Amino acid sequence: MLLLTCPNCGDRNVSEFRFGGELSSRPKDPSALSSAEWANYLYMRNNVMDAQTEWWHHNAGCGLWFLAERHTRTNEVIKTYPYAKRNA
Amino acid sequence: MRTEQDTLITPNRLHPKEGEVIDRATTIRFTFDGVEYPAHPGDTVASALTAAGVQVLSRSFKYHRPRGLLCCSGHCPNCLVQIGDEPNVRACTRPVEAGMEVRAQNVWPSLKRDLLSLTQLGSRFMPVGFYYKTFIRPQKLWPLYEHTLRHVAGLGEVHIDTPLGEFDKQYLHTDVVIAGGGPAGISAALGAAEGGAQVLLFDENPTLGGHLRFTVPLDSSSTPEVSKDLPELLEAANQQPNIAVFTDTSVLGWYQDNWLCAVKGTRLFKIRTKSVVVATGAYEVPLIFDNNDLPGVMLGSAVQRLVHLFGVLPGKQVVIVTANEDGWDVAADLQSLGVNVGAIVDEREPNACSSPYRDGLVNAGVPVFYRHTILEAIGSNAVRGAKIARIDERAAISPTTTQSLNCNLIVISMGWTPATELAYMTGGKSEYNEECAKILPVSSPPGVYVVGRASGTHAVDSQIAEAHQIGSTAAAFAGSGEVNKLTAQSSGTLEPRRTSDRVCVPGNKKRFVCYCEDVTDEDVELAIAEGYDSIELLKRYSTISMGPCQGAMCSMNTIHLCARANDWTVQETGTTTARPPTTPVTLGALAGQNMEPVQTTPIHQWHLDHGAAMMVAGLWLRPNHYGDPAAEAMGVRERVGLIDVSPLGKLQLTGPGVPELLERIYTNRWENLRVGRVRYGVMCNDEGVVLNDGVCAHLNDETWYMTTTSTGATTIFEWLQWWLQSGWGEGIHLTDLTDVYSAFNLAGPQSRAVLEKLTERDLASKAFPYMRIRSAKIADVPCRLLRLGFTGELSYEVHCPSGYALHVWEALMEAGREFGIAPFGVEAQRILRLEKAHIIVGQDTDAMSDPLSANMAWAVKLDKPDFLGKPSLMRISDEGLKQLLVGFKMADPDVVPDEGLQIVEPDADGRLKIIGWVTSSRFSPTLAAAIGLCWLPPELASQDGAPFTIRIDGHLKEARVQHSAFYDPDGERLRM
């Protein structure tokens, strides 16, 4: 079973976490988007075979939503960090 | 007690000797196919039967050929038996118990005379893959084919009335796991433990020691005896406090990040470790020749296990077929016990043999046939002789040299294949090593190490030295001790070659590659000729290595056959993928205890004591009713009732940022909600799909109190956490109070009168109107009161600290007694809310429902600047709605359509097409009518009173659209 490092709690089994999909953010001004752009935000994902930044939620633990960089082919977790440190 | 007669019926039992694991002082009895046999504690089922001279233990899968002990280590299918209710038990590893009822499997009518063995007369018509080719047409006969095949080709019987066993799971955490407790495993454990690491050492046998329990170390030049190294190793392991030993425990699989699974009987272990040492040893490889499956053909290690552990000799006239020193070891071992070794058949040239026992055996007059191999095992139900022949200069068999030897035991000792399944699962790579003719691990991921015979090191001295160092390296990887520079080298290539290239001797009878599925070498050649030439395809088509042995007996030989037929090298041929489990495991052990988590409210016991019929709602157990839901509903309408709604999600939001958040997550307006007021709200996701509904109260200045649906409580809490933590959390604190507060709904015209008895708070409608929140002490407990109307009556939701919940509940019941109060359950609440046409999210809506269509347009304010779902709802609104959720009443009040039924309409050709469906329906005791909610096309749904038809059990029943609530459409009773 995969180990994930919660930025608060440390190494935990992946069964303590909920996967939240790849990192995407809600458009700042949705009313300015065309229907195609809105649909793109709602439904289109990059689905890379590479390192991917994605959301995880420590739902059986501290409740933190954080980001993980995980390789989608090898499942190797390169690093995890709080959302606030995403640009650090 | 052992009797004289027992001695007579256990002719194969040897005299007592050192190292055996049986307790000869005690004799127990068990039956095999109805016949009673004696055994000693410590015996396995198979050793006891072998002692009694029983050779045929099972019948083969396809041809029903007699089969007897082959590997005697739990890695072949030949001794699978049924014990009581338990099918597919390996007789060679299962300890025998007094009174055990053992039966043969897959035989008809009996093991001795299995008429199904006649199938092999037709084997010409049953080549590999014949069932794929034969039983596909005509398709409608498949049920008959399947029934017959299941009967003829099968293993044990599962009895569906077998009581549930006791199974459980244990979680273990450690620094180093050693899989395999032979000399290498024990030594690695010592190395790791001495480095300071915590070590778990697993072995599938009843005691540690691996092959040292029953073999002679190669380097020993003394007379055969059980290894001298073993007591020393066991003593050291025993003294080492850092080592925990698990015997009778098979490591089933390796999963990511060193997460291992092991099983011991009915207990499954899940183990997290920092590093792993694979010390799983090697399997002895069978040789493929005519009748190689005949009972009496056994592997050398199997014979040594029987002799040394159980004092049982499976045959008195022995022919040993070998291509390495191990065969000579077995010969010397048997000879020292006084056994008549009839012949040693060695494939090699005389000068290739360097066995220390050679001179002794030759001088004792044991005939040795160099450059010979076995052609055939002679016999019908058991070995009566062996046909051998000379191998000529071109490595071919020369038929003219054929001769027959009398014997009743043929020992095959041709070589070893490392047990690398676990190493393979870790992602390690392996390569074929021509020097020692083995596929050996060449690399493994960080923190995974392979030692001993699994890595190709055969000599015990080398194993011990090498494994000790690797053990300390594994400890260092886990953070204990220093990393030593590796000085010991794998000596695999330095040792004499121990595995023969010859895996198959041609002939004209059946030669089995795969004992599990009865696949012969000719079947393999045919499959390759038909195009299934890659090893993975060959495996799937022929089912080789997919049976109970999981490749332990057949994988290596199949790879060689596949390589030869394709004219590839072994390296080019490759291996099949190893997957967990490495050995068969019961589904019970995987399932563990029959437990399901449930949540109960603080009132749970009270509900049970008052006759509640409980129902499962998400993880919650809730009272569905207390006997008569219709009467409970009428009690609320006419008097007063109390329902436990503690599972409601309860969230508290604090801070200046809350109003803005509420505007974003709800579809309606919130910034104007004054303190003390409560508002209903709908939450959507950005697709515009309804996620949840509930109320939110402005409790005081910067505190809001939100309720969600019971089943959506966790999801909404996570949903809100995500928005708060991903940018919308400025100035907001969110707390989940779901378990902290319990909640009851006191509903009915008398509810105010009941509550007034328990509080000093003014409950008059003027002071505490509809859709307000108040703090009040109820029965001296500080509570939050919300005046709501889900049931359609005057009602108060009482939210109290869970620790006092039972006290408050009982106080309310007591206060209500003079008003005729009664508890009501979920079913009565469903009737009451349906009479008001209130929707339940998840019941009346699904993952496609938007609030505009779900009759909640009044709660959607598309003129707000932005909220979750707004852009989608704008587009849905512009494009027009496709289905609407509306109420309906049946023409016939006695016909209540089931939820989910179709609403149909004839098309132009008179065929019925589905235009909608029923989501909720009940008989309303208040109105004496059958009512419900349904989805309909807008043109129909928009006409109040429009008729339509619901298909019920093939009949069309009329219903009419109703726009207003069925009960109290103006909501006067809520505001009383």
Q: Are B871 and A13 an interchain contact pair (Cβ–Cβ within 8 Å)?
A: no
For the cut 90, the answer to whether the pLDDT of residue B437 exceeds it is no
Give the pairing type, strands B385-391 and B372-378.
antiparallel
Q: What is the average pLDDT across B744-765?
A: 96
State the helix-helix crossing angle for B658-665 and B713-723, rounded to 10 degrees. Answer: 120
Class of residue B261 by CB neighbours under 10 A (exposed 0-12, middle 13-18, buried 19+): buried
Per the listing, tokens 């139900």 go with B381
**Contacts for B336 with CB less than 8 Å, ≥ 6 apart:** B223, B224
Which residues of A touch chain B, with CB atoms under 8 Å apart?
A: 1-3, 13, 18, 20, 25-26, 30-31, 33, 35, 38, 41-42, 55, 57, 59, 63-65, 75, 83
Q: What's the pLDDT score for residue B223?
A: 41
Q: What's the pLDDT score for residue B485?
A: 56
Q: Which of B63-67, B224-228, B424-428, B865-869 has the lowest mean pLDDT?
A: B224-228
How far apart (Å, rounded) are the C-alpha atoms in residues B454 and B469? 16
Identity of the residue in A57, A75, A83 whose CB atom sits nearest the CB atom of B718: A57
Three state DSSP letters for chain A: CCEEEECCCEEEEHHHCEEEEECCCCCCCHHHCCHHHHHHHHHCCCCCCCEEEEEEECCCCCCCEEEEEEECCCCCEEEEEEHHHCCC
Q: Cβ contacts (< 8 Å) between B733 and chain A: which residues? A: none
Burial B286-320 (b: 16+ CB within 10 A, else e): bbbbbbbbbbbbbbbbbbbbbbbbbbbbbbebbbb
How far apart are the CA of A50 and the nearest CA of chain B, in angstroms?
A: 18
* Tokens describing residue B497: 């070659």
Chain B residues 236-255 within an 8 A CB cutoff of chain A: 255
- Percent of chain B residues topping a pLDDT of 70: 95
Identity of the residue in A2, A26, A63 whose CB atom sits nearest the CB atom of B721: A63
Q: Are B875 and A38 an interchain contact pair (Cβ–Cβ within 8 Å)?
A: yes
Q: What is the average pLDDT across A75-86?
A: 92
The sign of the torsion formed by the CA atoms of B874, B875, B880, B882 equals negative
**Contacts for B355 with CB less than 8 Å, ≥ 6 apart:** B325, B328, B329, B332
DSSP of B453-503: GGGT--SHHHHHHHHHHHHHHHHHHTT-SPPPPP-----TTTSPP-S-S--
How far apart are the CA of A30 and the nearest CA of chain B, in angstroms?
A: 7
Q: What is the average pLDDT across B811-827?
A: 97
Identity of the residue in B272, B687, B721 whose CB atom sits nearest the CB atom of A42: B687
| Chain A interface includes B866 (CB < 8 A) | yes
How far apart (Å, rounded) are the C-alpha atoms in residues B162 and B587? 14
Largest CA distance in chain B: 117
How far apart (Å, rounded) are the C-alpha atoms in residues B919 and B902? 10
Q: Cβ contacts (< 8 Å) between A80 and chain B: which residues? A: none
How far apart (Å, rounded) are the C-alpha atoms in residues B175 and B189? 11
Q: Which of B277-286, B501-510, B780-789, B889-898 has the lowest mean pLDDT?
A: B501-510
Separate counts of helices (H) and strands (E) for chain B: 25, 47
How far apart (Å, rounded) are the C-alpha atoms in residues B80 and B389? 33
Q: Cβ contacts (< 8 Å) between B274 and chain A: which residues? A: none
For the cut 60, the answer to whether the pLDDT of residue B824 exceeds it is yes
- Give the residue with greater pLDDT, B875 vs B398: B875
Q: Are B255 and A1 an interchain contact pair (Cβ–Cβ within 8 Å)?
A: yes
How far apart are the CA of A43 and the nearest CA of chain B, in angstroms?
A: 9
* Tokens describing residue B844: 């009346």
How far apart (Å, rounded) are the C-alpha atoms in residues B454 and B466? 13
Q: What is the average pLDDT across B166-182?
A: 95
For the cut 90, the answer to whether the pLDDT of residue B426 exceeds it is yes
Measured in whole angstroms, the distance separating CA B377 from the mean position of its chain's CA atoms is: 41
Q: What is the average pLDDT across B427-437?
A: 88
* DSSP code for B817: G
Identity of the residue in B272, B718, B866 whose CB atom sits nearest the CB atom of A30: B866
Per the listing, tokens 């160092």 go with B469
Q: What's the pLDDT score for residue B55?
A: 94
Q: Are A42 and B722 an interchain contact pair (Cβ–Cβ within 8 Å)?
A: no
User: What pLDDT, in 10s, does the model give residues A26-79?
Assistant: 999 999 999 999 999 999 999 999 999 999 999 999 999 999 999 999 899 999
| Chain A interface includes B877 (CB < 8 A) | no
CATH 3.10.20.440 in chain B, residue ranges: 4-120
DSSP of B233-298: HHHHHHH-TTEEEE-S-EEEEEETTTEEEEEETTEEEEEEEEEEEE---EEEPP-B-BTTTSTTEE
How far apart (Å, rounded) are the C-alpha atoms in residues B895 and B952? 9
Q: What's the pLDDT score for residue B219?
A: 43
How does residue B529 score in pLDDT terms, banded at 50, 70 and 90? very high
**B463 contacts B184 by C-beta, under 8 angstroms:** yes
Domain B512-586, CATH number (from 1.10.10, 2.30.30, 1.20.1740, 1.10.357): 1.10.10
CATH 3.50.50.60 in chain B, residue ranges: 168-283+417-477, 286-414
Q: Cβ contacts (< 8 Å) between A3 and chain B: which residues? A: 256-257, 259, 272
User: What pLDDT, in 10s, does the model give residues B316-358?
Assistant: 999 999 999 889 999 999 998 888 899 999 999 999 888 889 9
Q: Are B687 and A57 an interchain contact pair (Cβ–Cβ within 8 Å)?
A: no
**B300 contacts B284 by C-beta, under 8 angstroms:** yes
How far apart (Å, rounded) are the C-alpha atoms in residues B640 and B463? 81
* DSSP code for B583: S
How far apart (Å, rounded) are the C-alpha atoms in residues B437 and B503? 11
Q: Are B718 and A59 an interchain contact pair (Cβ–Cβ within 8 Å)?
A: yes
Q: Are A83 and B256 an interchain contact pair (Cβ–Cβ within 8 Å)?
A: no
Q: Cβ contacts (< 8 Å) between B727 and chain A: which residues? A: 25
Q: What is the CA radius of gyration of chain A?
A: 15
User: What pLDDT, in 10s, does the model give residues B14-23?
Assistant: 989 888 999 9
**Angle, vertex CA B798, rays to CA B761 and CA B777, nearest 5:** 35
In order of A7, B600, B603, B642, B796, the CA distances from B632 in angstroms are 51, 22, 18, 10, 17
For the cut 90, the answer to whether the pLDDT of residue B311 exceeds it is yes
How far apart (Å, rounded) are the C-alpha atoms in residues B443 and B432? 13
Identify residue B71 by its one-letter amino acid code. Answer: C
* Tokens describing residue B526: 């045919």
Q: What is the average pLDDT across B290-297?
A: 96
* Tokens describing residue B475: 């400890």
For the cut 90, the answer to whether the pLDDT of residue B230 exceeds it is no
The beta strands (E) that lie in B515-640 are given as 519-520, 613-617, 620-625
**Domain residue limits, chain A:** 3-23+42-85
How does residue B2 score in pLDDT terms, banded at 50, 70 and 90? low
At residue B203, the 3 state secondary structure works out as coil
How far apart (Å, rounded) are the C-alpha atoms in residues B699 and B30? 75
How does residue B224 score in pLDDT terms, banded at 50, 70 and 90? very low
In order of B438, B841, B847, B872, the CA distances from B689 in angstroms are 60, 11, 7, 9
Per the listing, tokens 């000379």 go with B390
For the cut 80, the answer to whether the pLDDT of residue B176 exceeds it is yes
- Residue to mutate among B256, B260, B661, B879, with most A CBs inside 10 A, is B256
Task: Write down the architecture of domain B825-863+881-976 according to CATH.
Answer: Beta Barrel (2.40)
Query: Domain B648-737: which CATH class?
Result: alpha beta
**B505 contacts B373 by C-beta, under 8 angstroms:** yes
Closest to B32 in 3D by CA, of B15, B51, B16, B14: B51
User: What pLDDT, in 10s, does the model give residues B670-691?
Assistant: 989 999 999 999 999 999 999 9
Q: What is the average pLDDT across B405-415?
A: 95
- Residue to mutate among B684, B718, B724, B864, with most A CBs inside 10 A, is B718
Domain A3-23+42-85, CATH number (from 3.30.2270.10, 3.30.1330.10, 1.20.140.10, 3.30.390.50): 3.30.2270.10
- Give first-to-last CA distance, chain B, whole Å: 89
Closest to B570 in 3D by CA, of B451, B442, B430: B430
CATH 2.40.30.110 in chain B, residue ranges: 825-863+881-976
How does residue B645 score in pLDDT terms, banded at 50, 70 and 90? very high
Class of residue B127 by CB neighbours under 10 A (exposed 0-12, middle 13-18, buried 19+): middle
User: What pLDDT, in 10s, does the model give residues B896-944?
Assistant: 999 999 999 999 998 999 999 999 999 999 999 999 999 999 999 999 9
Domain B168-283+417-477 has CATH 3.50.50.60: yes
Per the listing, tokens 């503690």 go with B646
Query: According to CATH, what is the number of the domain B286-414?
Result: 3.50.50.60
For the cut 50, the answer to whether the pLDDT of residue B225 exceeds it is no
How does residue B222 score in pLDDT terms, banded at 50, 70 and 90? very low
How far apart (Å, rounded) are the C-alpha atoms in residues B446 and B95? 38
**B632 contacts B641 by C-beta, under 8 angstroms:** yes
**Contacts for B765 with CB less than 8 Å, ≥ 6 apart:** B975, B976
How far apart (Å, rounded) are the C-alpha atoms in residues B489 and B465? 9
**B258 contacts B276 by C-beta, under 8 angstroms:** yes
The beta strands (E) that lie in B358-396 are given as 368-370, 372-378, 385-391
Closest to B78 in 3D by CA, of B535, B453, B552, B509: B552
Q: What's the pLDDT score for residue B493?
A: 43
At residue B62, the 3 state secondary structure works out as coil
C-alpha atoms less than 13 angstroms from C-alpha of B923 in its C-beta half-sphere = 10
**Contacts for B494 with CB less than 8 Å, ≥ 6 apart:** none
Mean pLDDT of all residues in chain B? 91
User: What pLDDT, in 10s, does the model give residues B76-91?
Assistant: 999 999 999 888 999 9
Q: Which fold has domain B4-120?
A: Ubiquitin-like (UB roll) (3.10.20)
How does residue B220 score in pLDDT terms, banded at 50, 70 and 90? very low
Q: What's the pLDDT score for residue B7?
A: 63
User: What pLDDT, in 10s, does the model give residues B29-53?
Assistant: 999 999 999 999 999 999 999 999 9
Q: Are B866 and A31 an interchain contact pair (Cβ–Cβ within 8 Å)?
A: yes
